[in-house]
Amino acid sequence: MAGHTVDQTLARAPRWLAPVAVGVGTLAATATLGALDPEVRGHLLPGCPFRSLTGLDCPGCGGTRAVYALTQGDVGRAFEHNLLVMLLLPVLVVAWAGWLWFRLGRRERPVTLSPTTGYAIAATFLIFWVGRNLPWMPFAWLGSGAG
pLDDT, tens only, 54-103: 999 999 999 999 999 999 999 999 999 999 999 999 999 999 999 999 99
Q: Is residue 40 in a domain?
A: yes
**Most confident listed range (10-14, 110-114, 119-123, 135-139):** 119-123
Question: What's the CA gap between 14 and 29, in Å, rounded?
Answer: 23
Question: Which residues touch 69 (CB under 8 Å, ≥6 apart)?
Answer: 75, 77, 78, 80, 81
User: 99 or 147: whose pLDDT is higher?
Assistant: 99
Q: Which of 45-49, 52-56, 125-129, 143-147 has the lowest mean pLDDT?
A: 143-147
Q: Is residue 145 in a domain?
A: no
Range of the domain at 42: 14-111
Number of domains the chain contains: 1
Q: Is residue 129 in a domain?
A: no
Q: Is residue 144 in a domain?
A: no
pLDDT tier at 146, thresholds 50, 70, 90: low
pLDDT, tens only, 11-65: 788 999 999 999 999 999 999 999 988 888 777 777 889 998 999 999 999 999 9
This model's pTM is above 0.85: no
Neighbours of 79 (CB within 10 A): 16
